[in-house]
Structure 1
Amino acid sequence: MTTATAPLSPETGRSHLQESLFAWLAPEPAPSPAPEPPAPAAETKTLEEPAPEVPPAPPAPEQKPDLSHVWVVAAEIEVTPKIARVADFRGSFKTTEGQRVDALEVYCKGCRRPYDEVRGDDCAAKIDNTHLIGGDQSKRAKRKIPVPPANARIIPGGRINRRGIGAYVSGVSRPKR
């Protein structure tokens, strides 16, 4: 396969493509001053009624963040085997109209606390989410290392490779065959 190539000159080469890429870097021309409006020929005095003074508009109130709870219900619904299969596969399903639903628990979707505990309070998840991770991690007690029984003898084992392809082949991340 052969291709014909012509010698590139500045007029026919690629230089014209580069100009449009960097056109935005050129300084903008200074705007010309607007012409002044003509002066009024003669001022005539007329009696004008002064405009009534309008009080200044009150400052707009600051938008407070919405700290209200989003309530959800953990429910128990009896379904047919066909609907159960669809619900298991899709994660959702449709029920019949007028079906009675038993509420197992009512809680806030954000802070995961029961309705009766936090009914009148602001949602803690919208203020600070530390309650979901067990409080401040720097102040939490460290995990205790279990103490072996007095009559136990510890036998050191070999080094277990938990990373890389060696771990996959040796069965750490998947069951042995």
Structure 2
Amino acid sequence: MKRLARSWRNISSDDDDYVIDELMNVETEQEELVRSLERSQAQQSRFWRHVFAGLLFCFVVFLIFSIYGQTTMPWELRYHAYFMDEIDSWAVIAADWVAVLVCLMAIAGLLRSSRSRRQWLWVSCCCGVLLAVFWLYNMLKLPKFRWDVIWLPLGPLSGAGFCLYVDTLLNESSEEVKQLRNYMYAYKAR
């Protein structure tokens, strides 16, 4: 009986060592998986931030071209010529500069890595709303509503809104990876 008990103890201690080794392997695999998820999420976040910032930058270049066209040849651009009888040329130029500012603030908010990123995005959205109100007011004063210039009020606003949405999604994804790491450490603490 004593021999049997000793053999069982030896087997159970071998099993305990095996279980401990397996748990250590699982913990290291889990740690590697979480690290790879963090790296992947960071790379994807940078990629998508740069993609949307690049698209908005292209819109900024178009707006600067539009400003140049309005200053050198007033009312030659069709989308500005609709407003010839409603507003002054300087107001159109000022509105386009505000649109450029809205887009640049959204780009800055998207690419900044500080905590003030969200403030840049929210300020750009608020300024975009004010700009949209200006353009919609002047579009409603036209004798006929022109749907082909709906991008004037909605372009900068939707650009800033998309940037805010992308930032929110990427931050949520980052928080989920952090939460996964916290769950891993909470399990180790048990």
TM-score by length of 1: 0.16
- Which one has more relative contact order, counting CA pairs under 8 Å at least 6 apart? 2
| Higher share of residues assigned strand | 1
TM-score by length of 2: 0.15
Structure label with greater radius of gyration: 1
| Higher share of residues assigned helix | 2
